[in-house]
Amino acid sequence: MKLSKIHSLIFALLLVPFIFSYAKGQVATVWKSSSQPLKEMKEIRKQIRAPKFAAREFTITKYGAVGDGKTLNTEAFMKAIDACNKSGGGRVIVPLGTFLTGAIHLKSNVDLHLVDSAKIVFSSDPKHYPIVFTRWEGMELMNYSALIYAYGQENIAVTGNGTLDGGASYKTWWAWNAARPSLQVKARNLLHDMNHKKTDPRTRVFGDSSFLRPNFIQPYNCKNILISGVRMINSPMWNINPVLCENVTVDGVKIIAHGPNTDGVDPESCKNVLIKNCYFDTGDDCIAIKSGRDEDGRTIGKPAENHIIENCEMKDGHGGVVIGSEISGGAKNIYAINCVMDSPNLDRILRIKTSSSRGGIIENVFMKDVKVGTYRDAAVTCNMFYEQPGNFIPTIRNIWVENLEVEKGGNFGLYVKAYKESPVENLKMVNCNINGVKTPMQIDHVTNLQFENVKINGQVARVPDGL
């Protein structure tokens, strides 16, 4: 053997421990006690700061708005926001009255503030929503603007104790999904196909006659966002959907919508998100953390990262705290504490949903101090078969649930459906008491499943043989 080849072989052998060490470094650290994630959460909280605004006010009625519930005020909102932005920022005031409008586009350093009992009602005419760059179910495209939209802005807010009415009903936006066959299914399938083929998102032009409903509030690629105090009703689709944003606070918002896909708060591919003191009564997931669907999610590769959920109340919904299903970019460092959930129409408490068409790594999920009256399906769910299979096996690891109290459960206490080649790793439940379930556990592939002082239907939970 030549000397150069011997040197190469020796060098390669010397690298093996470092390569192995690096690979090990990619595996999530397993928490030994709840003090570890609580400490991590404290450090993340320090990074999240709500934006502040200059003490200047721009009342929309001074720009031509009429609060009679009939006059279309889109132009007045635009003028007030432009003036506020150009002056260096401040508050755009929505006074007492009912103000009908089309899309509202926020700009940097603008706080859209509703005084007590003020109301903004959004038009149900699609023509009042221009085509913008957006995401729809985790896929990028050109489509109807969200009702309140911002792109590439900093320091923006929607605040106050007024009401935002999305104007949706089964006679308007919701009819697009409720019709049988669904009016939106053709466009949805086409968008899926474009996603799989990795076409340029800006050439994926939808909108008119495509029937892909807009979301309610969507800041896209923005920083320093606050949504606080408002009551949101009748959203066409997802309610609050920040995409690729950083430093997001949602505080004291009340969301009520029982139409199709009317999720509460769906942060997508965002970093440093705080959702606190909110109320959810929804037609889909209450909070659903996302990071893009399939090819779009993997191409962008931006995980959902550093999310804190606390002091929230969940009523109806497919899930209380949910991760997925559009989660191809992965999710990590998700913390949910001190929440209350209670409804026979709430399906799950903690729900992780993904599939092998998604891929991605979901890790470091911590839930503590959650009180539940009743739910319908499962307290804790990890499901890798949520939608059609593909070639990207997902990973779910390091899940910790502590102090979960359930008065009357539904079908399952713990439900896990995973791949044999990719079992759920390091799932631990501590000091949990789940009552009234039909089946305590239905689980297949889990490694290092641990129960510590867990009772289901009054019986001590034990790890099934063979796991």
Active site (catalytic) residues: 284, 318
Cis omega (within 30 of 0) on the bond before 325? yes
**DSSP per-residue string spanning 177-239:** HHSSS-TTHHHHHHHHHHHHTT--GGG-B--TTT--PPPSEEEES-EEEEEES-EEE--SS-S
Kindly report the CA angle at 199 between 197 and 200, in degrees rounded to 5? 160
Please state, in angstroms and rounded to a whole number, the distance separating the CA atoms of residues 319 and 341: 10
Strands 231-233 and 254-257 come out as parallel
Taken in order 191, 387, 297, 257, is the CA torsion positive or negative? positive
Residues counted in the chain:
467
Could you give the 3-state DSSP secondary structure of residue 368? Answer: strand
Q: Do 299 and 329 contact (CB within 8 A), yes or no?
A: no
Tokens for 362?
Answer: 């979901």
Best CA proximity match to 367, nearest among 423, 414, 297 = 414
